[in-house]
């Protein structure tokens, strides 16, 4: 092998080595900074790039994806002098690789120190109750402060989350007792409200029951009044019919008397006589009861009444077929002064 061949092989090998040293592959989600003799010149995006070896050098390899940093636990004194342990997480993303590489030294450490400092500032201006109940407010305040402070570094802080807030043990016990008392209070309030609702419903039920009962009594009174009115109407109608019948009977008797019909007179007087005896016998406070000694006395009395009626008519002649007394009548025995039982058809006696 001659010298020319050896030189050509050496040149070819050197060229291959230079190409290998100058070829740079940037993965997705990463960016590389390129320095020319130690000075930043450009940024390599994801893909294949060629640089001049020994002239250009890759300076910083920057992760352009969103990253998460754990904020270590630290003690914070609140505005009401309560000591609490706080930790959290922060999410950020690099937007400008050159500024993130050359504007700040140790980017992650700078972000952590900035978060911890502002965390003490923000939470130290709040009471413990506000810390425990307003985590969203704390996160929003921290995000605004930290994002504004890190914008010159070419990064974007997307979220700051408070993970744990741990009060002292004695304070935790006190809060537990307070929570228990609050729950007992709410339970008592709910129980009282339930009793009140039950009382209201019970009163409403009693009210409806009373209303229905009153309406029932009202309906009963109305029905009773209707019944009494109907009964009174029927009674008045019966009395009216009875009076009409009585008037008709009286008219017929009057016509019979005018015609001289002694039998009709005897029947009418006997009917009144029997009715009078029934009323006297059924009276609850009677002292004396007049009783006929015999049926012939009653008939005789009726005959006497007939004679009186005939005399009153001025001696009107009796209808044919009757001689002396009316048919079915007997001679009247007139009572004497002595009041003997043979002559008087009535006797007095105490009521039994």
Q: What is the pLDDT of residue 27?
A: 94
Mean pLDDT of all residues in 149-170: 90
Best mean pLDDT range from 60-64, 162-166, 256-260: 60-64
pTM for the whole thing? 0.50
Give the separation between CA 292 and CA 324, rounded to whole angstroms. Answer: 25
Class for domain 67-167, per CATH? alpha beta
- Does residue 327 surpass a pLDDT of 70? no
**Comparison of pLDDT for 341 and 39, the residue scoring more:** 39
Q: What residue has token string 């609850």?
A: 284
Nearest CA-CA partner of 307 in 338, 349, 265, 276: 265
pLDDT class of 46 with cuts at 50, 70, 90: very high
Any bridge partners for residue 277, and if so which? none
Each domain of the chain, given as residue ranges in start order, spans 3-63, 67-167, 260-350
- Per residue in 225-244, pLDDT (tens digit) is 888 888 888 888 888 888 88
Region 34-58: what's the mean pLDDT?
A: 91
The whole-angstrom separation of Cα 266 and Cα 60 is: 156
Residue 290's pLDDT band (cuts 50, 70, 90): low
Mean pLDDT of the chain: 79
Q: What letter would DSSP give residue 1?
A: -
Residue 288: pLDDT over 90: no
Q: What CA–CA distance (Å, rounded) separates 164 from 176?
A: 17
């Amino acid at each position: 092998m001659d010298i020319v061949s050896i030189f050509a092989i050496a040149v070819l090998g050197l060229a291959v080595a230079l190409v290998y040293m100058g070829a740079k592959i940037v993965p997705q989600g990463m960016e590389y900074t390129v320095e020319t003799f130690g000075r930043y010149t450009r940024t390599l995006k994801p893909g294949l790039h060629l640089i001049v070896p020994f002239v250009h050098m890759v300076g910083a390899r920057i992760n352009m994806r969103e990253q998460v940093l754990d904020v270590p636990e630290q003690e914070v004194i609140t505005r009401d002098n309560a000591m609490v342990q706080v930790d959290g997480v922060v999410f950020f993303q690099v937007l400008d690789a050159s500024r993130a590489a050359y504007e700040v030294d140790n980017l992650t450490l700078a972000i952590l120190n900035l978060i911890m400092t502002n965390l003490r500032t923000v939470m130290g201006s709040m009471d413990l109750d506000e810390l425990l109940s307003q985590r969203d407010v704390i996160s929003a305040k921290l995000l605004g402060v930290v994002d504004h402070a890190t914008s010159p570094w070419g990064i974007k802080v997307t979220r700051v989350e408070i993970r744990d807030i741990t009060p002292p043990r004695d304070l935790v016990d006190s809060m537990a007792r307070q929570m228990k008392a609050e729950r007992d209070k709410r339970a008592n309030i709910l129980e009282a409200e339930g009793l009140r609702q039950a009382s209201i419903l019970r009163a409403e039920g009693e009210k409806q029951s009373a209303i229905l009962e009153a309406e029932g009594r009202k309906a009963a009174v109305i029905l009773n009044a209707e019944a009494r009115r109907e009964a009174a109407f029927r009674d008045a109608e019966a009395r009216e019919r009875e009076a009409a019948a009585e008037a008709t009977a009286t008219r017929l008797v009057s016509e019979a008397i005018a015609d001289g019909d002694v039998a009709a007179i005897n029947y009418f007087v006997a009917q009144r006589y029997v009715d009078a005896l029934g009323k006297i016998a059924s009276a609850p406070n009677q002292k004396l009861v007049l009783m006929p000694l015999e049926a012939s006395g009653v008939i005789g009395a009726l005959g006497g009444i007939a004679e009186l009626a005939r005399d009153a008519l001025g001696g009107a002649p009796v209808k044919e077929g009757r001689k002396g007394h009316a048919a079915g009548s007997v001679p009247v025995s007139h009572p004497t002064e002595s009041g003997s039982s043979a002559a008087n058809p009535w006797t007095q006696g105490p009521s039994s």
